[in-house]
Structure 1
Amino acid sequence: MTSGTTSDIADLIARTALRDRGAFRDLYSRTSAKLFGVTLRILKDRSEAEEALQEVYVKIWQRADRYVAGGYSPISWLVAVARNHALDVLRARKPVSDDIDAAIDLADGGPDPEQATIQGSERTRIDGCLETLEADKADCVRGAYLDGFSYEELATRHSVPLNTMRTWLRRSLIKLRECLTA
């Protein structure tokens, strides 16, 4: 604040509430340096603080009628408007992301496009070969090798002896290998 007493600032706020543009301009010239300091201290970024200061004065223009003389000092009220707005800006900031160069070094755990295409093609071939098996035998192969069921669980599920299940799976795998190598 370059000059002016507390009562002068209170008078400028009161005249601003009456939409006196000259009083508002004078209020800005007397208080903007202090309010800029408040916004800069909170936001720690000069351009963001300058933008916030403009928005603070828009709020002061719109809310000057809310200042009650004698309640707070006029400077305290102006600082509170600036401080609250700067804190709102700070809360609304998106989290600072890491440098993009650091992200380049991160490995993608998934397959690259070529591998994904090959895997998709192999999966299609395996599914096609599974369809050549009898339905219950194909179900056993899927259960044992894709779903992780034990031979005992599959034998119980299909109501066959354990050795029969082992034979089914061995013969089914031989057929799958023949189909896949053809």
Structure 2
Amino acid sequence: MSEDFPLPDDLPVPEDDGAADHLQGMEMPDVSLPATDGTTVDLQELPPRTVVYVYPLTGRPDEDVIPDGWEAVPGARGCTPESRGFRSHYDELRDNGVGEVFGLSTQTSEYQREARDRLQLPFEMLSDAERELATELDLPRFTIEGDRYLNRLTLIVTDGRIEHVFYPIFPPDEHASEVLEWVQDNPGE
């Protein structure tokens, strides 16, 4: 499989603006989201030690859906390489006590399904197209060309509560390794 959407060397680095500081320790809200396998996932009933990586937008090799100026937004670019990283480390994460991994964006499940299948992801993607979770948790967002996108971040959810937050994330293609290292250094109960 070709490595579509490679990261440029001059990718702008996001800075910690404090927009995710409130998340650690929060209880997951009473929100259920559709998954790419056609099921609905209750976020209060996640398996112990679930990794939810939030990303703004996945591109498609057959469509030009990336807004103009995307590469200039720190942290916007890199959703596909980040997903490939979680694919590569999925078994190691599971072997180290992670119950499940989910990708999450505001794209529809139908759109996300193409990426899941093309990238051969061993986990499902969750759609927050109605922005229920984004609103309940007040997730950080950015606007480009009049559309709002979720900032890239990762939540480690244990027993219905956000145990740890990774934010900002850079570089996105190395982030799954960072999550794996954190999980190994912080074993669950």
Fold agreement, TM-score > 0.5: no
Q: TM-score scaled to structure 2, two decimals?
A: 0.27
Whose helix proportion is higher, 1 or 2? 1
| Structure of higher CA gyration radius | 1
Q: Which is bigger in relative contact order (C-alpha 8 A, separation at least 6)?
A: 2
Q: TM-score scaled to structure 1, two decimals?
A: 0.28
